[in-house]
Amino acid sequence: MSVKRPLSGIRVLDFTLVWAGPYAVAMLSDLGAEVIRVESCQHHITNTRGYYARPAPEIVPRMGPVARAYADLDPKDDPWNRHAVFNHIGRDRYSMTVDLRTPEGQDVVKELAMISDVVMDNNTPGLLGKFGLNYKTLHALNPTLIYVAMPIYGFAGPYRDHLGFGANAEALAGFSHLRAYAGGDPSTIGTSNHMDASTGAGAAYAALTALYQRRRTGRGQLVELCQLENLMQQAGEALMDAAMNGRDRAGIGNRDAVRAPQGIYPCKGGDRWIAISVGTDAEWAGLCRAMGQNGLADDPLHSGCLARQARHDALDERIAAWTRVHDNRELMTLLQGLGVPAGMVAMDSDVFADPHLEARGFFRWADHPAVGRRRYPGHTFTYRNAPLRYDQPAPLLGQHNDLVYGQMLGKSPEEIQGLAERGHIGTAYSEEAIRRG
């Protein structure tokens, strides 16, 4: 007898893009929600099903590491089905297409809203409202509907109409400044995209709590998750230091304000590294023992983190001289065995070969009709008594049009044919969409 998943019977309309929104929807889908992804053949959303609607094959190898992430570096004739950005978190959802620019397409979405429980939206604030599909309109049709919006700067305030991606909000939240290296500036660091993952988790949680409240009250509601404010919760101690002490923290790179020594150290082989963090004298003794320098552990000049902080540069040089002749995975195992927090800096291929993740069964094999059999990241969490879903890989564009229009909305074959002729239903982007994107 199969066990029902926590969100079995819940239907979600997915209007999300890039990473933050699709990640939130993936968690709801993992929990058993039925997800309908609303897409359009008339508009290619950049950074979601690839950065371009149809990139020239010869330029793909020269594109950036994320932009070129087509299976086998080959966009083929359907690049929108072959890109890693969407495929890695687009699992277990239906894809249907409709042209929201037309009244007919807007009516289709309204019909879907009337039979759905949750709308997930991380588009620019007001975008769906331009098509008459804002919360007020949909709530009037379905008072039990929950609408989770993820405006980057919120619905109110001077920045409400500002555009941006995660990197912009990370800078405004102070993260870019905090992540800088000592003596450097924020221009020396790469984009972390931390805000996307943070927003995804927060939005999924918001949807779950709204569903819980609806079960108690019978009413839906609008949930606003301001991505900037959500991210700032994770810089709390720095913000409070400024509020309570008037201090602006400077970037310290890979070091810690208390623990010492801490850093990323070179290892044997090209571009191989290990992270080591020492926070107690016992951990310091373990590191000294691993380096074969037990005398350092007994030296009063290195007793306590404050003393080691004062000699951090010299300790870094000593540690780096030792680590650079050793394999990073072997060092991680050695140091962990001595009670020292350490982790190899893994490359992508290392992660797929990691014995711990392999033993936990984290990666899942899935057969995708456009990219073949591949391994994909698994669930963010697990339930002991309710196995989470991992049934289907990311859908092809418009793959489930017949299911959504025919079975869910009850459209006749003649109506479906007419919608296809008028540009709503399809499995490829229109030539106009390709020229624009």
CA–CA distance, 147 with 121 (Å, rounded to integer):
8
One-letter amino acid for residue 82 of the chain = R
CA–CA distance, 190 with 183 (Å, rounded to integer):
16
What region does 134 belong to: left with phi over 0, alpha with psi -120 to 50, or beta? beta
| C-alpha triplet 143, 149, 152: angle, nearest 5° | 160
* Listed residue (148, 155, 151) closest to 206, CA to CA: 148
Tens digit of pLDDT at every position of the chain (437 positions): 567 889 999 999 999 999 999 999 999 999 999 999 999 999 998 889 999 999 999 999 999 888 999 999 999 999 999 999 999 999 999 999 999 999 999 999 999 999 999 999 999 999 999 999 999 999 999 999 999 999 999 999 999 999 888 888 888 888 888 888 888 888 777 777 888 999 999 999 999 999 999 999 999 999 999 999 999 888 888 889 999 999 988 888 899 999 999 999 999 998 999 999 999 999 999 999 999 999 999 999 999 999 999 999 999 999 999 999 999 999 999 999 999 999 999 999 999 999 999 999 999 999 999 999 999 999 988 888 888 888 899 999 999 999 999 999 999 999 999 999 999 999 999 999 999 87
| Tokens encoding 87 | 């495929």
pTM above 0.85, yes or no: yes
Which three-class secondary structure state does DSSP give residue 81? helix
How many helices (H) and strands (E) would you count in the chain?
A: 19, 11
Q: φ and ψ at 276, to 5 degrees?
A: -130, 135
CA–CA distance, 27 with 266 (Å, rounded to integer):
36
Distance of CA 399 to the CA centre of its chain: 24
* Domains of the chain (ranges, CATH numbers): 11-233+359-436 (3.40.50.10540), 262-345 (3.30.1540.10)
Q: φ and ψ at 363, to 5 degrees?
A: -80, 140
Q: φ and ψ at 367, to 5 degrees?
A: -95, 115
